[in-house]
Structure 1
Amino acid sequence: MRRVSLTGFRVGHCRHPQAMAIRGGRWAPVDFPALAFLILHPEEGAILFDTGYDPAFWQATEPFPERLYRWTTPPVLHAGEALADQIAVRGIAPGEVRHLILSHFHADHMAGTHRFPNATIHAARAGFEALCRGSRLSSVRRGMLRALVPPGFDRRVRWFEDAAPVALPADLTPFTEGADLLGDGSLLAVPLPGHCPGHWGLVLRDEAGLHFLVADAAWFSEAIRTDTPPPWPTMRLLGDAAATRATLHDLHCLHRRNPDIRLTPSHCAECAERL
């Protein structure tokens, strides 16, 4: 795999009882950071994996029923914490971002999509179809906000399902197949079914070796290490409980088999501390 560089950012957070995200957790509310990542590619330049929260989230959740999203998982985004603002501090204007990879269409992963108007968007067709299906209330119940889809999305999107299939490195077993997003082997999207329709992760190689961004296939690194899924009602609320369980078990097997591979969930406080 071609090497790239990777920088992670904490882009807001929400608060929720820990017990809703991992069996045996506390019922006291804890912070769930929203992590997003800047990838620097030797030819393509700035690439993003997810966006975290953005002021657009508050605009999208002003009306009802979308406001239910804001009430059930109250988010916090401090001034200057939006991803577009954070990368600008590093000298990268939002308009310079060439590619934006969305792990899935939940609002806390795509709220900042509109801030990167020149980026080709890589996403799952199955996830977008789920976003557009049914009533506004049903979309909100699934954690999706249609108002966050930017103008011209259909002209800018490339579907994971249409990217060139590729065999993953043997080190990633039991994960065997992915999609080569750029055609040079540097960024491999990997289906991680269960959390919601069209949920994918991303494998890349940086200066420290293989790194697997697993999005919401787990909410805590501890869940991967111990193979401990969320409570059944939580899994059923958002997606496919059986598929969620199977994906988490595969991540656990990968960790046991090859603990040197970094597995990074998008809401893990432990991973946020390392950033």
Structure 2
Amino acid sequence: MLHGGKTTIIKIYRCGYCYNNLHRIYKNMPKETIQFPATAILFSHQNNLYLIDTGYSKRVFEYGLKSKIYHKLNPIVYEDSNSLKNQLEADGISNLDIKGIILTHLHPDHIGGLKDFPNSQIIMSEKSYALLVRPKLLDLVFKNLVPVDWMNRLRIIEEKEDDLFQDGTIEVIDLPGHTKDQIGLYFKELKFLYAADATWGIKFIDNQLKFIPKLLQRDYKHFNQTILKLKEYMSNGIKVMVSHEQVDDK
């Protein structure tokens, strides 16, 4: 738990995971299969509860051929007990108490549980909104994960905006490369940056991607520029966390 004056990061949740071999992803890495958790973060701001992303849900397996291909390339391990809704309930928090959900981008491991929060405002960038309205195949948007009433609950973060709550506590950071629309959140009071899928692990930040993983980045030039941005934050003493990192959340 990280405490600030107006903002507190309450807990980091792992909502299922995928696994892959480091040798297939990075150059000069051993043949070691590791887990990449699907992360969601619960935080409070001015006594309201918010989430960043929602992790996997069983619906990720229910989108026909796209689900089968996705699972084949990116094997997923998930049980109902892993759902963010169930984990929150185990901690005494109702899914109906979440005021808003900030989506860093629209991949299935980030929006999988979105339908489990019918009362929450859905907060996304302008670029995410554009992708959701007209997704392309490589955008990996599973429309079955999106609530039918999403537009009625939508708040769009415009590109010119960078202050999420207009009080200087959380800055929205543009982190393109992995996807066109990816954003991160910098908690200024906490000196903490959540950088979504900017890299598959801070400990891999200097490793070079192999050919196929490189192709899977929507813009590899911007991917590398985002890595440099993360390093700049880190050089200024700021804690950087990414979605698939194995981290201690105690």
Provide the TM-score with structure 1 as the length reference. Answer: 0.82
Task: Name the structure 1 match of 2:212.
Answer: 233
Once the two structures are overlaid, the 10-residue window that deviates more, 83-92 or 124-133, is: 124-133
Q: Does 1:265 align with 2:242?
A: yes
The structure 1 residue matched to 2:145, chosen from 138, 145, 148, is 148
* Cα RMSD, aligned residues only: 2.1
Task: Name the structure 1 match of 2:6.
Answer: 3
Once the two structures are overlaid, the 10-residue window that deviates more, 71-80 or 29-38, is: 71-80
Shift of 1:205: 4.3
Paired residues for 1:98-177 under 5 Å: 98-133=99-134, 138=137, 141-161=138-158, 165=161
Task: Name the structure 1 match of 2:38.
Answer: 34
Q: What fraction of aligned residue pairs are identical, expressed as a percent? A: 26
Task: Name the structure 2 match of 1:173.
Answer: none
Amino acid at match of 2:130: E
Question: Structure 1, residues 13-54: CA drift from partner, whole Å, max 9, x if none?
Answer: 0111223443332344321111110001223x1100011111
Secondary structure of the residue aligned to 2:82 is coil
Task: Name the structure 2 match of 1:191.
Answer: 174
Are the equivalent residues in 1 in contact too, given 2:105–2:183 (CA < 8 A)? yes
Shift of 1:119: 0.9
Shift of 1:3: 3.3
Task: Name the structure 2 match of 1:92.
Answer: 93
Shift of 1:222: 1.0
Secondary structure of the residue aligned to 1:266 is coil
Shift of 1:232: 4.3
| Separation (CA, whole Å) in 2 of partners of 1:100 and 1:50 | 6
Shift of 1:192: 0.5
| Separation (CA, whole Å) in 2 of partners of 1:155 and 1:238 | 31
Amino acid at match of 2:37: P
Secondary structure of the residue aligned to 2:241 is strand
| Separation (CA, whole Å) in 2 of partners of 1:235 and 1:159 | 29
Are the equivalent residues in 2 in contact too, given 1:2–1:185 (CA < 8 A)? no
Shift of 1:132: 4.2
Are the equivalent residues in 2 in contact too, given 1:84–1:94 (CA < 8 A)? yes
The structure 2 residue matched to 1:219, chosen from 197, 200, 215, is 200
Shift of 1:142: 3.6
Number of equivalences = 246
Are the equivalent residues in 2 in contact too, given 1:193–1:199 (CA < 8 A)? yes
Question: Structure 1, residues 240-269: CA drift from partner, whole Å, max 9, x if none?
Answer: 0010011102212322x22x3110010012
Are the equivalent residues in 2 in contact too, given 1:10–1:33 (CA < 8 A)? yes
Mind listing any 5+ residue stretches in structure 2 that lack a counterpart? none
Question: Structure 1, residues 37-87: CA drift from partner, whole Å, max 9, x if none?
Answer: 0001223x1100011111221223xx1233211221111123421111111
Are the equivalent residues in 1 in contact too, given 2:25–2:213 (CA < 8 A)? yes
Secondary structure of the residue aligned to 1:80 is helix
| Separation (CA, whole Å) in 1 of partners of 2:67 and 2:233 | 38
Task: Name the structure 1 match of 2:164.
Answer: 181
Secondary structure of the residue aligned to 1:98 is strand
Provide the TM-score with structure 2 as the length reference. Answer: 0.89
Are the equivalent residues in 1 in contact too, given 2:60–2:67 (CA < 8 A)? no
Amino acid at match of 1:158: R
Task: Name the structure 1 match of 2:54.
Answer: 51
Are the equivalent residues in 2 in contact too, given 1:192–1:217 (CA < 8 A)? yes
Secondary structure of the residue aligned to 2:66 is coil
